[in-house]
Amino acid sequence: MCVGTFTFGHVKPPALDEFVRITKNNGFICFTINEGIHEEYGFDKKIEQLKQENKWKEIKFFKSDYIASKDVNAWLGLYQVLK
């Protein structure tokens, strides 16, 4: 589980490759991505690449209130690793 890390100036999309590498077959990866960097940093492309390469299967991916008091939204993802 990774929450609050994929945000401005922090960890970039290649970290998702490392999540897949260290997760057991059929294990789950759960994370949030600040909506402001989802496309700007290329998380959208990396997520799609991992799906196309059959490295993981999308269970759930949606945008939701993250810090409602500050009107900040985030993408929430739950993926199952395929090895």
In this predicted model, what pLDDT tens digit does every residue of 58-68 receive, in sequence order?
A: 999 999 988 87
pLDDT of res. 43? 98
14-47 pLDDT, tens digit each:
999 999 999 999 999 999 999 999 999 999 999 9
> CA 61, CA 80: separation in Å to the nearest integer?
12
Please state the three-class secondary structure of the chain as a single string: CEEEEECCCCCCCCHHHHHHHHCCCCCEEEEEEECCCCCCCCHHHHHHHHHHCCCEEEEEEEEEEEEHHHCEEEEEEEEEECC
**Reported CATH class of domain 2-81:** alpha beta
User: Do 80 and 28 form a contact (C-beta atoms < 8 A)?
Assistant: yes
pLDDT of res. 70? 81
